[in-house]
Structure 1
């Protein structure tokens, strides 16, 4: 599959959830102190983003 979520640990020791397409990071979350919080962020994005509004400010 071309899309994936990845959890990484940054230089500060915080966990970040990244959304990737073909190995390119499309966006990353804020840093979390626990891996469980990063997983919760992924679950929230999956649950809530499907109906997200598109806002064109161009």
Structure 2
């Protein structure tokens, strides 16, 4: 199972999604607060479990 890691920066917080092997497989935008970052994680969990793949 992967994990979400919250990282603080000078400009706010962002999260990365890491695979079991530690490889980063997704990176978020920068959020102004840790709380907003956590909401972003919850949004990904809720809205993308079965997201379709589309080529553009």
Q: TM-score, normalised on structure 2?
A: 0.84
Question: What root-mean-square deviation, in Å, do the aligned CA atoms of Structure 1 and Structure 2 show?
Answer: 1.3
In structure 1, list runs of 5 or more residues that go unmatched.
none
The offset of 1:53, in angstroms, is 1.1
- 1:4-45, CA deviations, whole angstroms, 9 ceiling, x for partnerless residues? 0000012x3310011001211111101011000110000000
Q: Distance in 1 between matches of 2:27 and 2:51?
A: 17
> 1:18 is matched with which residue?
16
Structure with the higher helix share, 1 or 2: 1
Q: Distance in 1 between matches of 2:29 and 2:5?
A: 13
> 2:27 is matched with which residue?
28
Displacement over 2 Å in runs of 4+: none
